[in-house]
Structure 1
Amino acid sequence: MGGEASKADVGRKEYLTAEERQSALKTLHKLSKGGEALSISVLEKHICTYLSPEAASRLTSLLTKLRSPMGNKTPVQSVGCGIVVDNLGPLVKGSAEKHNYLTYTLAGGDKDGVDSDAIVKYLEMIISSFLRLATSQQGYRAWHSGSQENVIRVSRALLHDLLYRGAGIKETWSQPPPKAQFTYDEFERFILGHTIFTTLETEVVCCCFDLPSQADQTPILPLPSLVPKNYSSLLSASQVLLLNSSLPAFLRSEWRLLFSSVTHGCSFSILMKQIVGKGPTLIVVEDQSGNKFGGFASVSWEVRPQFQGTADCFLFSLEPRAGVFLTTGYNSNYMYLNYLEKNTMPNGLGMGGREELFGFWLDYDFGKGSVAPSCTTYRSPPLSPNTEIQMTALEVWGVGPEEKDSDEEEGTRSKKSALDKNPEARAMLDMMGKTRVSEGFREEEKDD
């Protein structure tokens, strides 16, 4: 099998730094009460605090080499701490092939393949374990754990392309995951294109042995900011993980709470004030039936009677099913925000589709909205079974670093025109087809 490492590989290359090796050895020596040899049962019990009993048993076998990858046991009761660390190194810091083989093995794969049910169950366990560790850290506690049902939904969403073998998410939306078996090669092809699977696993294993995070500069969970004390988000931690993994990498580090109907009240004008010009955002809606859905706006919102945005926008559903729906390329009706009293265009916020058939629509009469049965802009099913929705809660998160005006950073006076400060007036000129003459007559910067 392509992922198996030969015995000669171990020890020939030092994967861990000296500091990492000492940290892992310190954990193992503590378990062995200062001895150089560690009881196999004690090691497995320790790993069980991070992984399921089945996965802990498989990882113990890999770390001690007491069992071949296909399951032949050797009756040995203890193993040297140094051997465990030698075997740990390539699993957490080795090649993609070694990472894939670790995932395949811990998920229950063998020479005959791996069952889809086992893969789903394993990912659910890894997500739960990672979130339990991550949300216990200072700064991330605002992300509440949520229900296990949310973890199940997110796991199936992340595994969609594997479970449904390339079928579109819109076509399989109401279908339960089919039961199937995958070969190592099939599983590996999927994992190579979905690195979050092995990233979560590696983080949990590293934490088990007190190794530093091996994740690159792209965070798995964003750091929440501007969150009131004791605030309870509409999003569970697993839902945050799903949405964050779908964002462009440079937007994943921080989420800023821009608007919440709980803290800001039920006002469309306040909503506009909070989100216009604030950079990319995630909008999360909860309707009268408890359905949760929304969309990612890839650019700052502007008040104007035309569609805006880029093909990086997407829609999503979180409850009762989870999924992320990318653009189709059929049109560029990505995002829309308008609020003009004397206007023939609709007033409100929408994403996708067209007038009166938006993927989802939030009316300027706060609390009312609609969901289209189909959307030409995004590959989405109806986001709610309710065509007409009554919004019970709304959140908007600014994603990525906060955009700052360069003039403000330098401490100089702003060179914005009156139209910049009045989005409604600017939108009115757009609707009338009038050019903004002042755009070409802004004060030029003077050389120092």
Structure 2
Amino acid sequence: MGAENSKRKASPKTAFKKRVCSFLNLASPTKDISAQTIERAWKDKLDSELFAKLQRVIFKSHTAISFESFADFYYKLVEGTVDDKASVVFSIVNPKNEDCADLSALQSYVANVLNTLVNLHRGSKEFSKWNDIGRPPAFYSCDNLALYITKDMPESFALEKLENWYNGNAIFKRVSDYVYQSAFSVYEDHRTFIPLPVQDALVNIKGTTILTLGDILFLNSALLAENTVKWRLLYSSSVHGQSWQTLCKCILGQGPTLIVIEDEHNAVIGAFGSASWRLSPSFYGNDSSFLFALRPQLSLMTPTGFNSNFQYINSGAATLPNGMGFGGKLEYFGLFLSSDFGKGKVSNSCTTYNNFKLPNDPKDFDIKHMEVWGVGKPDPTPEELGERRTCLDQDPTASALLEMAGKTMHSKDLRQAKPEDEYLENCSR
């Protein structure tokens, strides 16, 4: 199946068999390998359901397997081609060895692999930090991600269809390779799956995120590599309160961000802003931006290339929308959060993003919870740039408002009463 299959590797060599022995804690290859030997090697690594399914495929109705057969199975999962790996998956989800397998069996298998990925991360500092701020037990769920990964598969499918799916599913290929390399003690994949969450001097952080581990894996897989290692919690409505002024103060100049919003009907949607937020009368950002939905089901909306109206934020303007917008155009955003904090709106369509569909109904919604994660480097500070700070530099929102005012008003009009003037006056006090 393609170039990869044309380079199909030979059966396991001597060096590979040594790796199998090391994994099983054997001094040298033996004639047979018992089920108990495999259980000792895997009992603390694999999800219990995944372990049972692998045992069934490996041993069938027997209590032992030849070393050569197990080494071949090991080889297919760890170093084999896409077709090798897909054939093993097909045997797992097709226990009756029929011509076609069922989608429900594949969804269950994918969920087992994702649960194993979670198990493999349980001892990490990243998992520990997320566990502190999540909302158990829902926090551990990867069910929606399993449904998303298998969404393009039919109710019944043959091996060839599974091969095509496996080859084209980047998320699952990466997760599956990591799981089996870890299960077989072959640590070749050091890429990040769970980012390290960082809270900047926040107190009472427990329960501040509505993200599940499945959500985190889903969002992290959609980000550029440099945005997947560390996420900084910049703003949470449960910590900072529902204040537009506070939101701006927390997120302006903080680099790329993930915006996560839960509405009054428990739908969860959001956006990735690829550019650092700055108050502006115009759109900005680039095509690494995207919109997403997490609940009731996962979906990802990537740029169409039709326009570059990715992100917008404005405040105190007399003739322009005041709030935060994503996609579409001024006054008709794909997603818009009003500066009258607590109110949001989604459109019926948006030419900026593919497969645009956000679950919020009605289209105007109330924000129940909102959180913003900084997933890249913040803008350099004036000190880092070697600049002298003024009073206004102490607050990026204030300086941005003043800059905007200077562009849109004559200097003699700055003394007239405007929303931004009140903000600046309060700042100077």
Instruction: Return the TM-score normalized by structure 1.
Output: 0.75
Alignment of 1:6-405 (within 5 A): 9-12=10-13, 14-15=15-16, 23-26=22-25, 38-40=33-35, 43=38, 47=42, 51=46, 55-56=50-51, 59-60=54-55, 75=62, 77=64, 79-80=66-67, 84=70, 87-108=73-94, 112-143=99-130, 144=134, 146-147=137-138, 151-160=142-151, 162-163=152-153, 179-181=155-157, 183-209=158-184, 211-216=185-190, 218-226=191-199, 228=202, 230-232=205-207, 233-340=209-316, 342-378=317-353, 379-400=355-376, 402-403=377-378, 405=380
RMSD of aligned alpha carbons: 3.7
In structure 2, relative to structure 1, the CA distance for the partners of 1:85 and 1:302 (3 Å cut) is same
In structure 2, relative to structure 1, the CA distance for the partners of 1:159 and 1:415 (3 Å cut) is farther
Counterpart of 1:88 in structure 2: which amino acid? Y
Distance apart, 1:413 and its partner CA: 2.0
Distance apart, 1:111 and its partner CA: 6.6
In structure 2, relative to structure 1, the CA distance for the partners of 1:76 and 1:348 (3 Å cut) is closer
Q: What SS class does the counterpart of residue 319 from structure 2 fall into?
A: coil
Q: What SS class does the counterpart of residue 324 from structure 2 fall into?
A: strand
Whether the 8 Å contact between 1:10 and 1:86 is mirrored in structure 2 is: yes
Whether the 8 Å contact between 1:24 and 1:85 is mirrored in structure 2 is: no
Name the CA distance, whole Å, in 2 between partners of 1:362 and 1:307.
15
Distance apart, 1:123 and its partner CA: 1.0
Higher helix share: 2
Aligned length: 394
In structure 2, relative to structure 1, the CA distance for the partners of 1:57 and 1:383 (3 Å cut) is closer
In structure 2, relative to structure 1, the CA distance for the partners of 1:187 and 1:416 (3 Å cut) is farther
Name the CA distance, whole Å, in 2 between partners of 1:114 and 1:148.
30
**Deviations 1:77-117, CA, capped at 9 Å, x for gaps:** 3655x974575245223444433333333333857243222
Distance apart, 1:286 and its partner CA: 0.9
**Deviations 1:44-66, CA, capped at 9 Å, x for gaps:** 58647655677535534666xx5
Q: What SS class does the counterpart of residue 56 from structure 1 fall into?
A: helix
Counterpart of 2:143 in structure 1: which amino acid? I
Q: What SS class does the counterpart of residue 359 from structure 1 fall into?
A: strand
- Structure 1 unaligned spans of 5+: 30-34, 68-72, 164-177, 435-448
- Is 1:426 the counterpart of 2:403? The answer is yes
In structure 2, relative to structure 1, the CA distance for the partners of 1:226 and 1:54 (3 Å cut) is closer
Distance apart, 1:128 and its partner CA: 2.0
In structure 2, relative to structure 1, the CA distance for the partners of 1:309 and 1:257 (3 Å cut) is same
In structure 2, relative to structure 1, the CA distance for the partners of 1:56 and 1:11 (3 Å cut) is same
Name the CA distance, whole Å, in 2 between partners of 1:197 and 1:403.
31
**Deviations 1:191-246, CA, capped at 9 Å, x for gaps:** 2222321332233334434x153325x31221212264652211011101111111
Q: What SS class does the counterpart of residue 249 from structure 2 fall into?
A: helix
Name the CA distance, whole Å, in 2 between partners of 1:24 and 1:399.
37
Name the CA distance, whole Å, in 1 between partners of 2:119 and 2:52.
21
Name the CA distance, whole Å, in 2 between partners of 1:370 and 1:240.
24
In structure 2, relative to structure 1, the CA distance for the partners of 1:122 and 1:45 (3 Å cut) is farther
Whether the 8 Å contact between 1:37 and 1:78 is mirrored in structure 2 is: yes
Q: What SS class does the counterpart of residue 141 from structure 1 fall into?
A: helix
Which residue is equivalent to 1:168? none
Name the CA distance, whole Å, in 1 between partners of 2:293 and 2:172.
20
Distance apart, 1:395 and its partner CA: 0.5
Q: What SS class does the counterpart of residue 142 from structure 1 fall into?
A: helix
Q: What SS class does the counterpart of residue 118 from structure 2 fall into?
A: helix
Bigger shift: residues 258-267 or 183-192: 183-192
Whether the 8 Å contact between 1:304 and 1:426 is mirrored in structure 2 is: no
In structure 2, relative to structure 1, the CA distance for the partners of 1:106 and 1:157 (3 Å cut) is same
Instruction: Return the TM-score normalized by structure 2.
Output: 0.78
Bigger shift: residues 96-105 or 348-357: 96-105
Name the CA distance, whole Å, in 2 between partners of 1:42 and 1:225.
41
Whether the 8 Å contact between 2:263 and 2:365 is mirrored in structure 1 is: yes
Q: Percent identity?
A: 28
